[in-house]
Amino acid sequence: MRWVYAAILGLCACSSQMDPPDAVPDQSSRAAPVIYVAAPKLGVAATLRKVGQNGAVTTWRSADGVQLSYRDGLLVATRGLGHDMMTADVSPLRTAIARGGGSYERRISRLTGAFALDFVNWRCQLRKTDARDYRETCKSPAGRFENSYRVDGAGRVIGSRQWVSEPVGALVTGARAR
C-alpha cells in the first residue's frame, strides 16, 4: 500500500526550467509558490511546489515526485499517478469560460495500465452555476466525467475539481499560496 502513496503524487512535464528529479528547490532567497491538491478517490492529498514554467504552463511537484501541469489553472498533464493524463487540449474550455459557457469538443490522451496511449474526443458542455463557478460535463463512448471550476473576477481559474482518469478520479485544487 505504501507504493500507492508514492506513485500517487509524482508527475513530470516538459519545461525548460525543470529542476533535476533529485534537486530540492533553493529556499534561501524566497519561498517557492505552492498549491494544495487532493485526490479523493485515492484518499491522498499533498502540497506541491512550483518547479517549472513553460509559457502559460506551470508545473508543480510533490515531495515524492508526482507532477501536475496546468495551463492558466486548467489541468493539461499528470505524471506519476499511474493511468496518467498525458495531454489535454484545454483551448476550447478556456474559450467557453471566457464566453460564460458553451458546447465544445476536448481531446485528452491518457496512459493506460498497459503503458499505451489512449486518445479520446469528449463532447463537453460548460455552464455557469453562479457568479464565479462553472460545471463542465463531458461525454464520449469511453464514459462521462464532470469538472468544476471557480474563477476570480478576471476569469482566471483559482480552484477546481478536474478529472484525470477512471482509476485516479479527479484532482481537487485550491488557490495558490505564497
CATH topology of domain 2-23+31-173: YmcC-like fold (2.40.360)
Amino acid letter, residue 61: R
Q: What percent of the chain has pLDDT over 90?
A: 70
- The least confident of 3-7, 35-39, 62-66, 129-133 is 3-7
- Every domain of the chain and the residues it spans: 2-23+31-173
- What mean pLDDT is predicted for residues 77-101? 95
Q: Terminal CA-to-CA distance of the chain, rounded, Å?
A: 33
Mean pLDDT, residues 102-108:
97
Assign 3-class secondary structure to 64-121.
CCCEEEEECCEEEEEECCCCCEEEECCHHHHHHHHHCCEEEEEEEEEECCCCCEEEEE
pLDDT exceeds cutoff 90 at 171: yes
pTM, entire model: 0.80
